[in-house]
């Protein structure tokens, strides 16, 4: 019998803690649904920053941009004004596209409020040409020299 063993990469993730500001809530006094994507973005930027990825600088130097082409959110329990919460971003893929999973939990009791994911692709400017591989420098920033197959 032959067994194939795939080595698991170390988890690439980060968490940020925030408090819901008044301007993020709607008339029902809960966080407006679109603001969850904003919280995902804050966690995404923290993850990139922790791994030395500055997408703005990278764009200026290489003409690559990384637009989000797909996103989903499952709203489970609404956040309210002044709730303190943690948003965790976990890298799932950074080879052909960048896929991040997100979870938002209340810090007081760990209750899951929302979860979702986003997908980013590499696009070359000014042609707006999609490149079907994340540049090697970005992959190395997340995975080190380990090449995932």
Q: What is the mean pLDDT of residues 126-134?
A: 94
CA geometry: angle 30, 99, 106, nearest 5 deg: 30
pLDDT above 60 for 137 = yes
Residue 29 structure tokens? 């006094």
pTM of the entire predicted model: 0.88
Q: What integer pLDDT is reported at residue 125 of this predicted model?
A: 94
Residue 96 belongs to a domain: yes
Residue 110 belongs to a domain: yes
pLDDT tens-place string over residues 81-121: 999 999 999 999 999 999 999 999 999 999 999 999 999 99
Residue 148 belongs to a domain: no
Percent with pLDDT over 90 in the chain: 88
Confidence of residue 63 (pLDDT cuts 50, 70, 90): very high
Residue 139 belongs to a domain: yes
Q: How far apart are CA 90 and CA 101, in angstroms?
A: 5
Residue 149 belongs to a domain: no
Domain count across the chain: 1
Q: How far apart are CA 101 and CA 72, in angstroms?
A: 10
Peptide bond into 133 cis (omega under 30): no
Confidence of residue 11 (pLDDT cuts 50, 70, 90): confident
Q: Which domain holds residue 96?
A: 13-143
Mean pLDDT of the chain: 91
Residue 3 belongs to a domain: no
Residue 8 belongs to a domain: no
pLDDT above 80 for 9 = no
Instruction: Give bridge partners of residue 71 from the DSSP assignment.
Output: 118
- Strand ranges (E), the chain: 13-19, 64-65, 68-75, 84-94, 98-106, 112-120, 122-124, 129-131
Residue 41 structure tokens? 């973005």
Q: Is 85 exposed, middle or buried (0-12, 13-18, 19+ CB in 10 A)?
A: buried
Q: How far apart are CA 23 and CA 85, in angstroms?
A: 16
CATH number at residue 75: 3.10.129.10
């Amino acid at each position: 019998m032959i067994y194939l063993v795939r080595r698991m990469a170390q988890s690439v993730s980060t968490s940020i803690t925030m408090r819901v500001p008044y301007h993020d809530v709607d008339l029902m006094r809960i966080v407006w649904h679109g603001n969850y994507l904003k919280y995902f973005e804050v966690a995404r930027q923290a993850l990139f920053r922790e791994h030395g990825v500055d997408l703005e600088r990278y764009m200026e130097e290489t003409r690559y941009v990384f637009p989000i082409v797909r996103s989903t959110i499952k709203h489970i329990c609404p956040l309210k004004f002044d709730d303190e919460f943690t948003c965790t971003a976990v890298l799932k893929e950074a080879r052909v596209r960048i896929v991040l999973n997100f979870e938002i939990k209340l810090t007081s009791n760990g209750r899951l409020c929302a979860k979702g994911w986003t997908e980013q692709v590499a696009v070359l400017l000014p042609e707006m040409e999609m490149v079907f591989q994340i540049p090697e420098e970005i992959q190395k920033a997340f995975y080190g020299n380990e090449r995932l197959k």
